[in-house]
Amino acid sequence: MSARTKARKRAIDILYVADLREMDFADALQEEAKRAASEPQREASWLYARDIVDGVIDNRDEIDEQIESYAQGWTLQRMPTLDRAILRMGVWEILFNDEVPTAVAIDEAVEAAKTLSTDDSAGFINGLLAKIAQSNAAL
């Protein structure tokens, strides 16, 4: 597993736990930063995970709006918590991280869903992220 893939999983964990506990994403990130300081061997995955979570924090309103706009018949609250975390990460990479090609961002999110979430999640996440990417590519 690449360092970036590990970082994505770590970011998903932070977003998921914060959402599940109904705590502020910034507080969850701060807790993880304390843990990361005691684990220097995992620093490579921490740095990009922090970038992802910081990016989601900074752009949460737009990210959530994109998800809700293209998730036909689904509200954010109705989605599984884990899927919300994966989608937020994927949308951030697609819209706000020019270093990651869109196809890679979608593929990584789909693979995370296959590994971590329900049987139906990968297809849902793939379709939703593809719609968001296609819509924003036209702008």
Q: So where are the chain's domains?
A: 3-137
Given this model, what pLDDT does residue 64 score?
A: 97
For residue 53, pLDDT over 60 is answered with yes
pLDDT tens, residue by residue, 92-125: 999 999 999 999 999 999 999 999 998 899 999 9
- Closest by CA to 91, choosing from 19, 8, 27, is 8
Higher per-residue pLDDT: 38 or 105: 105
How many C-beta atoms surround the C-beta of residue 51 within 10 A?
17
Distances in whole angstroms, Cα of residue 104 to Cα of each of 31, 33, 110: 29, 26, 10
Q: If pLDDT is split at 50, 70 and 90, which confidence band does 60 have?
A: very high
Given this model, what pLDDT does residue 52 score?
A: 97
Given this model, what pLDDT does residue 3 score?
A: 87
Given this model, what pLDDT does residue 36 score?
A: 82
CATH number assigned to the domain with residue range 3-137, chosen from the 4 options 3.30.2350.10, 1.20.1250.20, 2.40.50.100, 1.10.940.10: 1.10.940.10
